[in-house]
Structures are given as structure tokens and as C-alpha cells.
Amino acid sequence: MTTQQIIELYRPAIIQIATQTSTGTGFYLKEFNLIATNEHVVGQNAEVTIAGRLFEKRIARVWYTDKKHDLAFLQPPEDVALAEVRLGNYAQVHDGEVVVAIGHPYGLNYTATQGVISKVDRVRDGVKYIQIDAAINPGNSGGPLVNKQGEIIGVNSFIIRGGDNLGFALPVSYLREALELYQSHRGEPSTRCHSCNYLVVPSNIDATRYCPFCGTEVKLPMPPERERKPVGIAKTVEAILEDLGKDVKLARDGANNWSVKEGAAKIKINYNPENYFVAGDAYLCQLPADTTRIKPLYQFLLSENFKLDGLVLSCTKQNIVLSCIMYDLDMTRENGADMFRQLFQKADYYDSLLEKEFGCQELLEE
């Protein structure tokens, strides 16, 4: 298969995953009806946010974690027919083989990088890994490593910082072993002991904290009695979103990033602790296809900016964006809610107006 054919095959099966502190990639396995990803992507969370090409953001339960092999399994959406992809045979993987790593690096949807296998059996901390020269970046974690036959031969796991495209994927043999181990405990929260590989479930955990086989302390992916709350400005932003009727869990896009929809407009909120500003950007629509309408559109945007208080209309490449910004020390729950309320209301208003009056095109989304 060509790289393009592999991308098209996997695009409907690739899942974006986000928590309060991280983002990553997962992939759906129809054979087991589970989403596979890295354990470090889900962290200590029993629930994460997932999204895919065929479905909007939603909450997914974490059922299985395995810290030693860096694996986790999630509940897939029940109302969506996701693509079927196949697991390959690790025994047939060899050095020099061409592979494709698929994921969401830095939030860029469905990115694929091609490379070759440098070494099949690279051992690290007692676990075999496939060393590859295909670029694996933050956000790629948990995505599939695919051979030219379109089969999954590994799970993209980590890189060596400072290395020149030194990426490592967990072999598919470990993944299949974990999937088969969990099959008889479907629907139960479970974790694999990182000391003895025993599968710990609620019915056999010792004193709610320890592996019954070797006594190592373990943690099941169970929802906490009290949800871990953000602190600082992130706490303020999430309180504002709740005040405005948004589902905070679904809004989370990793550390200090949130995204919501208002009408057809997609709104991204970001807090950058390095420059101390909270910014909201509502992506409205794209420039009109009729170039004769672009000049009057620009004139309209400039005239509207004179009227707007605390908001700015601008063009970023082909996109028309409505933005707001506030210094973190100035933001309170009250004035922040006023600012974002105005952003949400105006975003929906301008999105409809620009398409109707100037022929602006719908925003392209992946």
C-alpha cells in the first residue's frame, strides 16, 4: 500500500485523546472493540475526552492500564461504525522495513510520517521496542506504527530527546497479549501489575491497593470520589465555561487549552503562562471564493473593529477570526465571563452574517 492509502484507511480509526494535562493519539481495534493508546497519555484519569473523524468530542472510560508496557484501553463510542484495521505479526518484522507512524503531533490532526526500522529488538528496561527513524512528536504517543501492508506492528511510545528522529514503538506482540489478557474482564476496571504482570481487577485487589500475587502497590482506573480540580488561572477559565453553560470535561484540550463550539463557530481558548495572557479565538469562516468580494469584506471588518469593545476581527491565512485577550492577573470570574460571553455571542452572529452578506465559505475542519 502507498502511504496515502494507509492514511485513508486509518483516518476513520484514529482517535484524538485529551485530559487536563496532556493530549495524545489512540486507535480503534474492531476485533476487540477497544481503543488502544499509551498509559502515559491517560495518566491517572479514569475518564478522558476522545474525538474522531466520524464523531464529535465525548467522554470515554479508561478500562485497562499497563504502566510497564505503557498501554491503556478505552471504551469506544457505541453509536459509530469505526473503520476496521488489522494487527500484524511481529515475528515477520525486520530491520530496514518501511513504516508509517500516524498520530496527532502538536494538535495537527491525522499526521503521518514515513521512515524505516533501524532495529527490531531494541531492549529498554526489560521490554523490547522497535526503533524507527520516522519522526514521533508530542501528540503522536499512542498512535499506530503501520507497515506497508497496512498492518499495525507497534504502538508509538516515546522518543529520545535531543536525538535525531530516534523513535520507539512497542511491538504489536505485547499489544495483542494485553488485549487477550483483558478480554475475559471486559467492562471491569483493571491494571496490569508492573512487577509480576498479573492482571489486577476489583475482585482480586488486596486491601484496595496491592497486587494479590506479589504485593506491589497498584492503582485501578477508578473515578475518584472527588474530581481533581485545576488551580490558578485554569480554575478560573473552567469556572467561566461552566457559568456559560459549557461542558468543561469536553472542552479540555490538554494543559491550559480548551475548545468549544458556538453555533458553527469553533472557539479555542488558551492560557500561556510564559506571557501571562488568556486568549480566545473564534474561527468563523473562510474568505469568499469570489475575489471581488474580498475588498468590501476587509472594509467591513475594519469598520466593525472600530465598534467592537474588547474584541478584534482579523484574517489568519484564509480564516476569519474573532479574538479577545486578557492579562491573567486582571481576569476574574465575573469579567472573564463577560468577555467570553461577548465572544461567543458575536462569533455566532458574525459567522452567519459573513456567509450571508459576503459569501464567505464554511470553515474547513479535519
Q: Where are the alpha helices (DSSP H) in the chain?
A: 3-10, 39-42, 172-183, 232-243, 248-251, 294-307, 333-358
Angle at CA 338, nearest 5°, toward 333 and 342?
Answer: 145
Catalytic position from the list 66, 104, 141, 259: 141
Active site (annotated) includes residue 141: yes
Q: What share of the chain is helix, strand, coil (3-state, %, to 5)?
A: 25, 35, 40
Q: Give the closest residue to 238 by CA, choosing from 352, 340, 103, 139.
A: 340
Taking phi over 0 as left and psi of -120 to 50 as alpha, with beta for the rest, 275 belongs to alpha
Q: Where are the alpha helices (DSSP H) in 155-282?
A: 172-183, 232-243, 248-251
- What are the phi and psi torsion angles at 8 (to 5°)? -65, -35
Active site (annotated) includes residue 290: no
Q: Which residues on adjacent β-strands are paired with residue 252? A: 258
Catalytic position from the list 66, 70, 281, 351: 70
What is the Cα–Cα distance from 45 to 331, expressed in whole angstroms? 29
Alpha-carbon distances, residue 358 vs 265, 284, 285, 293, 300 (angstroms): 17, 13, 11, 6, 10
- What is the set of active-site residues? 40, 70, 141
